[in-house]
Amino acid sequence: MKLAFISTVCGCRWAGTEEVWYATALKALEAGHQMAAYIHRDISAAEQIQTLRKRGVAIHSRSTIRFSRLWPLKEKIAPSFPAGQLQNYDVLLLSLGSLLDVFYVPGLIDALQRSKTPYVLFCQFNAEGLAFTPSQRSALRELAGNSAGCCFVSQQNLDLAERQLAMKLPAGQAIWNPVRITLPQPLPWPQGKTIRFGCVARLDTLWKGQDLLLEVLSKPPWPSRDWSLGFFGEGGDLEHLKNAVKFFGLESRVEFPGYVRNLQDIWRDRHVMVLPSRGEGLPLAILEAMMCGRPTVTTDVGGNREVLQDGETGFIAEAATPHSFGNTLERAWVEQSRWQEMGEAAHKQVRNIVSGDPAQQLLNYLLEKGRGASSP
């Protein structure tokens, strides 16, 4: 079967949103399927994309286009997604950061409608705070309604999308993110008196809430406690977060190691994952912290409650507010004698999750939709 994966991500070298379709692509190649990938140039140099190229995958990259009055003419002459080209595949996978992504990629919706090739929407993120205009909601209802299927990385995201669009999504299914590493046992528990927090996430305060965390840690009793915090990741809010660290007087406590590919290098000397998100899909970073044997303090968004048990493998705040997250972080601090035990329980939990092979699940889903569309 001929498959094409279309990714909407841009603005970074690589992202957790890409891990699912990339792992699925490798599965498809192993099974002998033909493949192509349509990506933004921002991720075209990623190691994963080079691996796909070496294995014979046709890579089509695009650049960011500024909308103007000449844009419709440009699309007629040189469409970003040639509909005729998309007709050469049996099924398309549209990997979205969020449902709104389709409006940020010129020509994408039109190409999908004109190609007549069955397509599957795979959405990595959804949140209560996403605002749809009436015209966007109408377009999404049509796009989703005409799709061969709609997948989300958590059941919460799927249920929320159906409420947001006021419709039952075709063949709606939740498929969790794959974990990039599998460890037979948790990493050894870090030594030393200083409690070292780790926040592994894109530097995006709107959704990841790092600014909220800094506010909590700047207020009593936290300044009198022995702790440090590392923000692991890249993103557009790096400068803003550095300014926030100065604003809250936390320069001696907070560091920015940047993107660290080897997850064990992060969690070898960090005790707890802290992620005060305002919205999520299913954070790959939480699953990876669990695999390394570390508990997580986070918020009740996305699929967090689907993988974490409050008080057993982590701590879940009801809301992403300084009051709610602050109370939950305090609750975690009081329970720190149990952190190692909770990390071990988290490791066992995530080992059960990875045994499900989400990449194979997604591939099976795609093949089913492709065959279904071609059958008489």
Residue 115 is assigned to a structural domain of this protein: yes
Amino acid identity for residue 26 in this structure: L
How far is CA 273 from each of CA 64, 171, 190, 191, rounded to the nearest angstrom?
A: 34, 34, 13, 16
- Answer whether residue 189 is part of any domain: no
Q: Are 151 and 248 in the same domain?
A: no
Q: What pLDDT does 353 receive?
A: 81
How far apart are alpha carbons 61 and 50 in whole angstroms?
A: 13
Q: In the predicted model, what is the mean pLDDT of residues 120-142?
A: 96
Same domain flag for 161 and 204 = no
Mean of pLDDT over the chain: 93
pLDDT of residue 261: 86
- Are residues 140 and 38 part of one domain? yes
Q: pLDDT per residue over 238-263, tens digit each?
A: 999 999 999 999 999 999 999 998 99
Q: What average pLDDT does this structure show over 316-335? A: 98
Is 267 in the same domain as 303?
yes
**Which domain range does residue 301 map to?**
195-354
**187 in any annotated domain:** no
Please indicate, yes or no, whether residues 257 and 220 belong to a single structural domain of this protein: yes
Mean pLDDT of 320-337: 98
Both 220 and 161 in a single domain?
no
> Which of the four pLDDT bands, split at 50, 70 and 90, describes residue 14?
confident
Residues 339 and 364 occupy one common structural domain? no
Q: Report which listed range, 77-86, 99-108, 182-191, 350-359, is most confident.
A: 182-191
Q: Which residue has the higher pLDDT, 85 or 219?
A: 219
Task: State mean pLDDT over 135-161.
Answer: 97
More confident residue, 1 or 81: 1
Model-level pTM?
0.91
Do 112 and 152 belong to one domain? yes
Name the pLDDT band for 375 (thresholds 50, 70, 90). very low
Average pLDDT of span 209-229 = 98
113 in a structural domain: yes
Q: Give the pLDDT confidence score for residue 355 in this predicted structure.
A: 75
185 lies in some domain: no
Please report the pLDDT score of residue 106 as a whole number: 83
* CATH number, domain containing residue 259: 3.40.50.2000
Looking at the structure, do residues 206 and 272 belong to the same domain, yes or no? yes
Q: Which residues contact 176 (CB under 8 A, 6 or more apart)?
A: 153, 154, 282, 287, 303, 306, 307, 353, 356, 358
Whether residue 38 contacts residue 60, with contact meaning beta carbons closer than 8 Å, is answered with yes
* DSSP reduced 3-state for 135: helix
Nearest Cα to 231, choosing from 196, 281, 195? 196
Do residues 335 and 361 share a domain? Answer: no
- Strand pairing partners for 121? 94, 150
Asked if 316 contacts 310 with a C-beta cutoff of 8 angstroms, the reply is: yes
pLDDT tens-digit map of 279-320 = 999 999 999 999 999 999 999 999 999 999 999 999 999 999
The answer on 339 and 304 residing in a single domain is yes
- Within-domain flag for 190: no
Residue 41 tokens read as 């140039």
Question: Residue 336 and residue 292: Cα distance in Å, rounded?
Answer: 17
Please indicate, yes or no, whether residues 136 and 32 belong to a single structural domain of this protein: yes
Concatenated DSSP letters of 192-211: SSSEEEEEES-S-HHHH-HH
* pLDDT above 80 (res 371): no
Average pLDDT over every residue of 164-174 = 97
pLDDT above 90 coverage of the chain, percent: 81
Comparison of pLDDT for 47 and 85, the residue scoring more: 47
Distances 178 to 14, 109, 345, 357, 360 between C-alpha atoms, Å? 15, 28, 19, 7, 10
Q: Residue 376: its pLDDT value, please?
A: 42
Domain count along the chain: 2
Does the pLDDT value for residue 63 go beyond 90? no
80 domain residue, yes or no:
yes
| Residue whose token pair is 């010129």 | 106
User: Which residues are CB-contacts of 71 (< 8 A; sequence separation ≥ 6)?
Assistant: 65, 106
